[in-house]
Amino acid sequence: MSTSTCDLPAGDVARVVDRLFRREAGRLVAILTRHFGVEHLHLAEDVVQDALAKAMQVWPYTGVPANPTAWLIQTAKHRALDHVRRRRVWREKQEKLLPLVEECLHGSLTGPAPQFEDEIHDAQLRMMFVCSHPRLPAESQVALILKTLCGFGEREIAAAFLTTAAAIAKRLGRARRFLRVAGVAVELPPAAELAPRVATVQQALYLLFNEGYKASHGNTLLRADLCAEAIRLGELLASHPLGDRPATHALLALLHFNAARLPARTDTAGNILLLAAQDRTKWDRGKIQRGLVHLAASGSGAPAGRFHLEAGIAAGHCLAPDYAATNWTHILELYDRLLALDHSPVVALNRAVALAKVRGPAAGLRAVEEMAGRHRLKNYHLLHAVAGTLWLEHGDRARATAAFRRAFGLAPTAAEREFLSRRLAVAAG
């Protein structure tokens, strides 16, 4: 396998591997699981993880391969074969399984690139529907997709569900156990059985994008690669007859609108820029237009759902010529409707911000204090950051300082801590 001519520092190699992990791990797991069977999902995950770990060990010395994806596939292939030969449970199946693995992975290496991509896309979409088995709890379905096909760790999934990494690990263990014991097939069931699973796939893509739009931990606020992957998979879902439905297009409208603002969300030093401070000339007008196309496509058929309302809110921001021209009254109306559908405290918190824009910071503070499920956000840094902002606007610097200090202690990323330290300085006068 040929390698690049220039070696990268270990830190750069780690970033390359991380990007590949996000982009390729789910696809490789999907291919391997198709041949191993869902009952051996964990084996597929293990060999892919092994391949990525091997890349971290080797590439700092050999350089990143010219085709890193092919390198990972080749390494995963060898790891899979090693597992097959070594583990007693496979001995009786080895004669049949080895040719399958060879054919699957060798074909991936030698086939033309477009066919290779098509095969992986199909496998990944198939696995998303497999993970959305109706006998699994809804949150377990989404967690399994995020872990297996989107490369999320337990901590990232826990942040999405406002729970702990330990709870997610147990949830994933139960889900894998169910798939193994129930003998769930990798091939897609009849269309009538697939239709109810689309909503789970949509939810997983929504959370995948959110992790890219605001990372749950680490030194970087934005993960544009995750946002792009969520959009790519969403477009793939919309192109499938079962996924071509109003809610999918509404989701894609939301994702495109939010992705359009990514270039302006931080300054050149990586510091957070709030909506009011963003340079709107940096917003991607092509993505906004693509979002409008999907928003128009979402308007037929079923009544407006959660993604429609969130897309409407995002459109309101994207179409305002400047911050002062934002129609906060309309955005508040959309949040009122969204909260009636989704009683999440995060939705209630966002509504409180919109309410403060329309009726003043005192009204926003009352909404924060009175919102249902507030206790679930006690360790959510944005609750305290919003409270700090509203107290500052209300003229109470002492309470604003206390809230910002609490938010700083809970903030999961370096970029957010830097932002909150600046807010603290303003509040302290």
Full pLDDT tens readout for the chain, 429 residues:
344 434 555 556 666 766 666 667 777 777 777 666 777 777 777 777 777 778 777 887 777 787 777 787 778 777 777 766 665 544 555 555 445 555 544 544 444 333 333 333 456 777 888 888 888 888 899 998 888 877 788 888 888 888 899 999 999 999 888 888 877 766 666 767 778 889 999 999 999 999 889 887 767 778 888 899 899 889 988 988 888 999 999 999 999 999 999 999 999 888 899 999 999 999 999 999 999 999 999 987 677 899 999 999 999 999 999 999 999 999 999 999 999 999 999 999 999 999 999 999 999 999 999 998 899 999 999 999 999 999 999 999 999 999 999 999 999 888 899 999 999 999 987
In angstroms, the CA 313 to CA 257 distance is 10
> Which 8-state DSSP code applies to residue 243?
T
Contact 195, 242 (CB under 8 A): yes
In angstroms, the CA 39 to CA 23 distance is 24
In angstroms, the CA 217 to CA 220 distance is 8
Which H or E element spans position 323?
Answer: none
For residue 412, what are its two tokens? Answer: 């999961």
In angstroms, the CA 201 to CA 341 distance is 19
For residue 363, what are its two tokens? Answer: 């009204």
Calculate the alpha carbon distances from 25 to 69, 88, 139, 155, 265 in Å: 10, 26, 21, 18, 28
Reported residue count of the chain is 429
Contact 162, 377 (CB under 8 A): yes
Contact 424, 405 (CB under 8 A): yes
Residue type, 354: A
For residue 266, what are its two tokens? Answer: 């931080």
